[in-house]
Structure 1
Amino acid sequence: MVLKNEYKPLLYLGISIIIATIIVTLTIRYLLPFVFGVIIAFLIEPLVKFAERLNIKRTYSSLIILLGIFTLIIYIIILSISRITVELGKLVTILPNYYNLIYELWNKFNLALYNISKYIPKETLDYLNNNWDQVISYVSTYISNFYSFLLNKLVLIPGVIVFLIFTFLASYFFSKDKQKILDTFKRILPTSLHKKLENIQIELFLSFIGLIKAQIILVIISTAITIAGFYILKVDYALTLGLICGLLDILPLFGPSLIFIPWILYLILTGSVSFAVYILTIYLVVIGTRQILQAKVIGSNLGLDPTLALIAIYLGIKIFGFLGLFLGPLIAVIIRAAVHSGLIPPLSKK
């Protein structure tokens, strides 16, 4: 069976998507420190060139700049951990002050259960009483699993240290030997691919900048909505809390929920249900606005159609998890760059 010419570009595109997904998956799984090394080396290149103009050798300038960056990162991590430790210590010292409040809430909870029990059939109450031990066991298991989760994360700390060391070394060598690495690739690859790969490199650079710009825009929008909502509700430290929630919006897994959810639960437990609803409304508006604007903002900054950007984000999240929020559009951009450079034939010829 001979494939018609008009279907060949579509076949090439499908194969390219599969290959790009496999390559990105394997790279993220096994070579992530080196990927970050390339990105960091690329980001510090303007500083390295500036240092070279000051007659500082690339070997030394790359090392000095990277040491400064990683020292700052480690300082921020240590400062954050120490701050969290101090705050937890304060929390432990003030917990006894909330004993009476907790005791009162527990009494209210028992009274509410008693009032509700009047309207519950006797069979249901008997079932609940007979299975109360199972409920306690479930809660105990949940707490135990939570602590196991925390301990497992602590076990990962040595792995994180190794990851940072390899990322630092990769960044340094990629930055120091940039020209040698590029010359090696040029010798290995056919001459006909040099220009195409240069075009892909330029397009990926512009797309990377566009992706960062898109995330900054989304964070600014989320921050503005949060601050405005806090000011409307006359929340104490509205500006500071809004900025913190906005910065947390960078985190793909937790985001501002690290602030909102515990706050909402605390308000409900302390009886401020109406205020908890207002805070929940702000949280839902922030999350909803981000989800609505995400595809449009990312697509416009990457030069992708909003529908294509939405599909890329969805498929990226389904395949890679939360990292797919960035990797999905990135794969789409790589394929587009390959089409523009001629490595992949276009679907239609103009």
Structure 2
Amino acid sequence: MKIKTTYTPIILLLLAVIITSIVIIIAFKYFLPLVIGVLIAILIDPIVSYLEKKIDFDRGVITAVVLAAIFCLIGYISLLVIARFTFELARLINSLSDQRSNFNALLDNAYLFLLNFFAKLPEDVLAYLKANLNQILSTISGTLTNLYTFLVNKIGMVPNLFINIFVMIIFVFLFSYFLTKDKDKIINIIRNLFPERLHEKVKSVQLELVFSFFRLIKAQIILVFISTVITVLGFYILRVDYALTLGIICGLLDIMPLFGPSLIFIPWIIYLIVIGDINLAIGLLVLYIIIIGSRQVLQAKVIGQNLGIDPLLTLLSIYLGINLFGWKGLFVGPLVVVIVRALIHSGVIPPLNKPVKRV
């Protein structure tokens, strides 16, 4: 029986997209230390290989030294950032205490506003509110109790969180070490899982993924740098205290575009509205919109140019990724495109414009 294979490339492409998406999500959810270890191994492999050729020393020792240096550097920078953040936070708390009189005045104004508001309500509405007062107070009390319990539970989880982070760092270090040290053995094991006729294709996929990974990292660095510059300049224009420090923090948080800047801007804007500094609140809101807008406009173009993918396809992958996987889709979408493109370039998946064949 002859079966048309016109749609074979499309079917293979859809299967590749679905399987790749599932594998990436599972990897990030259950094997995050291994994923981070793979990324670190890819990043440091050129350094380790270069030093191995130059000084003719054992690859395992070189890998351990390079990893130790990188982890120590990251730890040192993290301590500096935490110390600076703690210092700035202490100053912010002190400045908040100076706003106590403004806050008390705000409460007085709110109380007077509520009195006037209730005085203007119709009698039937007031009667309804009085009849349901106990239920309203009970609901508010229950909400506050649940919030308190939630905060207490989260605070109680802090020690476990630090333990989990410490254990994760150890596993990341070990995965990075063995993946870098035994790179050639691991690559050969992966290739031997496939028939010999596919070895060249597997090698092509590996090279394509490594190069695409570096390009993706480069694209993210460019986007974060642009966001940081815009934020710092905006803070200086608005004459915000600690403009450079806050700008760098907001820029680095832009690694999580949907949540990062929001963690700083939204509470800050609300606080300014509460204390009555409307001009600065409006300025920060405009700056926030500019940062988010520029990120959305530039993201598809920058990632597409660095990966050699059409910006429209990049934008579509990001959009579908966000809708299917939430904020993780910002990274999953482009990764799926990169992996599928590597499979197409290596010939594992036939291109869509391949001449129709019949079996």
User: Normalising by the residue count of structure 2, what TM-score does the alignment of the two structures yield?
Assistant: 0.87
Q: Which residue of 1 aligns with 2:109?
A: 108
Q: Which residue of 1 aligns with 2:28?
A: 28
Out of 222-231 and 202-211, give the one that drifted further.
222-231
Counterpart secondary structure, 1:5: coil
Out of 340-349 and 96-105, give the one that drifted further.
96-105
> Following the alignment from structure 2 to structure 1, what is the Cα–Cα distance between the partners of residues 210 and 338?
10
Of structures 1 and 2, the one with the larger relative CO (CA 8 A, separation 6+) is 2
Counterpart secondary structure, 2:352: coil
Task: Give 1:325 deviation, angstroms.
Answer: 1.1
Letter in 2 for 1:302: L
Matches within 5 A, 1:67-216: 67-81=68-82, 84=85, 96-129=97-130, 130=133, 131-152=136-157, 154-216=159-221
> Following the alignment from structure 1 to structure 2, what is the Cα–Cα distance between the partners of residues 43 and 77?
20
Structure 1 unaligned segments of length 5 or more: list them.
none
Q: Which residue of 2 aligns with 1:66?
A: 67
> Following the alignment from structure 2 to structure 1, what is the Cα–Cα distance between the partners of residues 120 and 186?
76
Q: For residues 77-130 of structure 1, give each alpha carbon's deviation from its aligned partner in whole angstroms, at most 9, with x where no partner exists.
A: 445455555555566666654433322211011112223333333333444451
> Following the alignment from structure 1 to structure 2, what is the Cα–Cα distance between the partners of residues 125 and 81?
52
> Following the alignment from structure 1 to structure 2, what is the Cα–Cα distance between the partners of residues 94 and 274?
19
Task: Give 1:254 deviation, angstroms.
Answer: 2.9
Is the aligned partner of 1:223 residue 2:224? no
> Following the alignment from structure 2 to structure 1, what is the Cα–Cα distance between the partners of residues 163 and 232?
38
Out of 336-345 and 283-292, give the one that drifted further.
283-292
> Following the alignment from structure 2 to structure 1, what is the Cα–Cα distance between the partners of residues 98 and 247?
28
Out of 39-48 and 1-10, give the one that drifted further.
1-10
Identity score, percent: 47
Structure 2 unaligned segments of length 5 or more: list them.
none
Q: For residues 263-321 of structure 1, give each alpha carbon's deviation from its aligned partner in whole angstroms, at most 9, with x where no partner exists.
A: 21221121112321121111112112212322222222222222221221123233433
State the number of aligned residues: 350
Is the aligned partner of 1:13 residue 2:37? no
Letter in 1 for 2:277: S
Letter in 2 for 1:282: L
Q: Does the CA contact (< 8 Å) of 1:252 and 1:323 recur in 2? A: no
Letter in 2 for 1:31: F
Letter in 1 for 2:281: A
> Following the alignment from structure 1 to structure 2, what is the Cα–Cα distance between the partners of residues 208 and 140?
47
> Following the alignment from structure 2 to structure 1, what is the Cα–Cα distance between the partners of residues 163 and 175?
18
> Following the alignment from structure 2 to structure 1, what is the Cα–Cα distance between the partners of residues 84 and 75?
14
Q: Which residue of 1 aligns with 2:47?
A: 47
Task: Give 1:243 deviation, angstroms.
Answer: 2.8
Task: Give 1:226 deviation, angstroms.
Answer: 2.1
User: Normalising by the residue count of structure 1, what TM-score does the alignment of the two structures yield?
Assistant: 0.89
Letter in 1 for 2:29: R
